Amino acid sequence: MIDCKVMKPRVKPADIIIILITASFTFFAFYSVYMKGEEKTQVLIRGQSGEWTFPVDADETVIVSGSLGDTIVRLYQSRAWVESSPCDNQTCVASGFVSRQGQWTACLPNNVLLIIKGVKENEIDSAVW
């Protein structure tokens, strides 16, 4: 006859430490993803004639004066794009729209930059670009 003993699990101090580290990491990851302040997405337009900031859902047409002439930037339905520019190659116009945080387009010959930025809700009034 085979003698089978049932072994009871024994919790070791190292097991408790590993569980606590794992729980702490899980809490930190959850906090980092879900508990940060709300971010508002904004459109930043820079040119030689100035700098403009709009909410990404604005409906605006902005004329930006640059070294070659006027670049027309359009914001509509949470998208932004260079509608027309006086540069020769028109790469900025052909690049299409930007709509997500971190995307950008520029008309380098005319010194115009269009970028989508995320700013925390409580930092909007004091944001420095």
pLDDT at 58: 92
10 Å Cβ neighbour count for 112? Answer: 28
When pLDDT is cut at 50, 70 and 90, the band that residue 123 belongs to is very low
Q: Are 98 and 107 in contact (CB under 8 A)?
A: no
Task: Please state the domain extents for the chain.
Answer: 39-123
Q: Does residue 45 carry a pLDDT above 90?
A: yes
Question: Quick one: pLDDT at residue 13?
Answer: 86
Instruction: Give me the mean pLDDT over the 13-39 stretch.
Output: 82
Mean pLDDT of the chain: 84
Q: What does the alpha-carbon distance between residue 41 and residue 38 come to, in Å, rounded to a whole number?
A: 10
Q: Which residue has the tokens 């990491």?
A: 25
Check pLDDT > 50 for residue 6: yes
pLDDT, tens digit, 9 for 90 and up, residues 59-79: 999 999 988 999 999 999 999
pTM for the whole structure: 0.62
Position 116 scores a pLDDT of 92
How many CB atoms are located within 10 Å of the residue 45 CB?
Answer: 21
Distance CA(43)–CA(86), nearest Å, equals: 22
Kindly tell me if the per-residue pLDDT of 128 is higher than 70.
Answer: no
Distances (CA, A) of 36 to 29, 43, 122, 129: 11, 21, 11, 21
pLDDT band with cut points at 50, 70 and 90 for residue 122: very low
Task: Identify the CATH number of the domain defined by range 39-123.
Answer: 2.60.320.10
What's at 95, amino acid-wise? S
Query: In this predicted structure, what is the pLDDT of residue 38?
Result: 58
CA distances from residue 114 to 56, 98, 123 in whole angstroms, order as listed: 12, 8, 20
Helices (H), the chain: 13-34, 91-94
